[in-house]
Structure 1
Amino acid sequence: MTLTEFELTGGATYGLMSATWPFATLRVNKNELELNISLFGNLRFRPADVVSITVTGGSFFSSGIRIHHIVKGYSSTVIFNSSGSADSVLQQIQQTGFLDNKERLPVYEDTVITAMQKNGGFAMKIPAVIAIVVIWNLLLLPNLVHSLQNNKVPFIGMHLGLCFMLLVSLTLLISEPFRNLLLKEGRTLKHIKTFVLFMILLSTLMLGISFMLPQF
């Protein structure tokens, strides 16, 4: 039995970062293995980039596969976890023909994967990350100042910070020019959509809770 392509949702570990279900997606066909970990990494491998794929220890609720590779721009720790059997996932990868593919990839496909690898796994541009972190901390300054003055901490900084993160997430979801400004070349909404939706939900819930708490 052979598979043309298969896709599976689960969790992943990339370097020091870990993502639980459903923040990772494994997609494999004969020419490419892609592990998308939303904002934290979009990793793409050609058959020649992968030395081996082995079953690795998981937890009681999940098991994983470890991708041993030679891509210089990626961390050496690349693990995909799923709720099913890791042996079954490995078998499905083998059935696509990816591990046994010795053919040269089409020029365009090879060029796209190489370009993505050079950009590294992380989806956002570093200056964009720095700008978001700086703005977030500036918005929290009222809380810090009042805390240092031994005053009761106001919620205004928290509200502003959460509103800012909600605004960034919503704009990423609906505005392609804004995504192009923040994301690395080749990254699209599908690579970060799960994380963005999670941030919208989390920011909205935290804002609602903060408004219900007693105000000082």
Structure 2
Amino acid sequence: MFEIEETGGAYIGSGQATWPFAKLLVNKNELRLNASILGNLYFRPSDIISIELFSAVFTSGIKINHRVNGYSEKVVFLTSGSRDLIKRITDIGFLNNNSVLPAAVEAEIAKYQSIGSFPLKWSAVIVFVVIWNFLLLGDLLGFFGNNDNHTVMSFGGQLAPAFAFLFALAIIISAPFSRLVLKNGHKAKDIKSFLFFLMAITGFIFIMVSLISH
């Protein structure tokens, strides 16, 4: 089946994914916007009210007006070729497709829409934030016996990014841990670009803090 695949950025609600953390895939039967950690959104042709041009300061794209309960009202794919992209989506037959979708496609869309776009379980997010803050502030609060060290450039400042790095790595390489952290139906590959970015940032921070503290 002929498909459109584009890489760009996205707005979903108040969140923004910059290039290249958003991918748009469109064929005759479905439109999928994967904005990594912001969400993985699936649409049938009948879910779409309209697709229109979107413009903001220094950026442009297409705004997807939809009727899916549970998705943010603001869904935008950011790309420089927005006018041409709308034409291509129209030409591919997605917007005018009134036929019954294949059972497998309908089931996939219904599954993803029912679990919501945000891929992580909120319990996992809360646990991550609590552990991150505990490790980052451990030295300042004297948890690690460094009462005279009032800086995050110390033991806790090393543990926090190391924890975040290993947390992201575990989602990628461990299927059981991935199932524990991600909502049912979501896969690590859906947020792999964000996880690699998180590992790069926290790995760099760990190295820099280690060098500074020594």
Q: State the TM-score, normalized to the length of structure 1.
A: 0.91
2: distance between equivalents of 1:100 and 1:69?
Answer: 15
Q: Which residue of 2 aligns with 1:30?
A: 28
Aligned to 2:38: 40
Change (3 A) 1:150 1:171: closer
Cα drift, residue 72 of structure 1:
0.7
Unaligned 5+ runs, structure 2: none
Residues 160 and 152 of structure 1: is their aligned pair in 2 closer, same or farther, counting only changes over 3 Å? closer
CA distance in 2, matches of 1:109, 1:149: 60
Partner residue in 2 for 1:94? 90
For residue 63 of structure 1, the aligned residue among 56, 60, 64 is 60
CA distance in 2, matches of 1:27, 1:154: 43
Q: Secondary structure at the match of 2:186?
A: coil
Query: What SS class does the counterpart of residue 29 from structure 2 fall into?
Result: coil
Unaligned runs of 5+ in 1: none
Are residue 79 (structure 1) and residue 94 (structure 2) matched? no
**Alignment partners' CA distance in 2, 1:123 and 1:157:** 28
Q: Report the secondary structure of 2:37's partner residue.
A: helix
Give the RMSD, CA atoms, in angstroms: 1.9
CA contact (8 A) 1:142 1:154 kept: no
- Aligned residue-pair number: 211
User: What does 1:4-153 align with in structure 2 at a 5 Å threshold?
Assistant: 4-60=2-58, 62-82=59-79, 84-145=80-141, 151=150
Shift of 1:41: 0.2
Q: Could you say if the C-alpha distance between residues 63 and 151 of structure 1 is closer, same or farther in structure 2, counting changes exceeding 3 Å?
A: closer
Q: Please state whether the residue corresponding to 1:172 is helix, strand or coil.
A: helix
Could you tell me how far apart the structure 2 residues matched to 1:72 and 1:152 are?
Answer: 46
Q: Secondary structure in 1 aligned to 2:87?
A: helix
Question: Which has the larger displacement, 111-120 or 23-32?
Answer: 111-120
1:15 maps to a residue whose letter is: G
User: What is the CA deviation profile of residues 50-82 of structure 1, one whole-angstrom value per residue up to 9, with x for unaligned ones?
Assistant: 00000011444x420000000011000000001
Question: Equivalents in 2 of 1:201, 1:122: separation in Å?
Answer: 22
Runs of 4+ in structure 1 off by over 3 angstroms are: 146-154
Contact 1:139 1:161 in 2 (8 A): yes
Structure 2 residue identity aligned to 1:136? W
Q: In the alignment, residue 65 of structure 1 is paired with which amino acid?
A: I
CA pair 26-155 structure 1, distance change in 2 beyond 3 A: same
Q: Choose 98-107 or 206-215, whichever is displaced more.
A: 206-215
- The DSSP-based 3-state class of the residue aligned with 2:6 is strand
Identity %: 42
Once residues 43 and 152 of structure 1 are traced to their aligned partners in structure 2, the CA distance between those partners, rounded to angstroms, is 41
- Structure 1: distance between partners of 2:102 and 2:151: 63
Q: Determine if contact 1:58/1:81 at 8 Å carries over to the other structure.
A: no
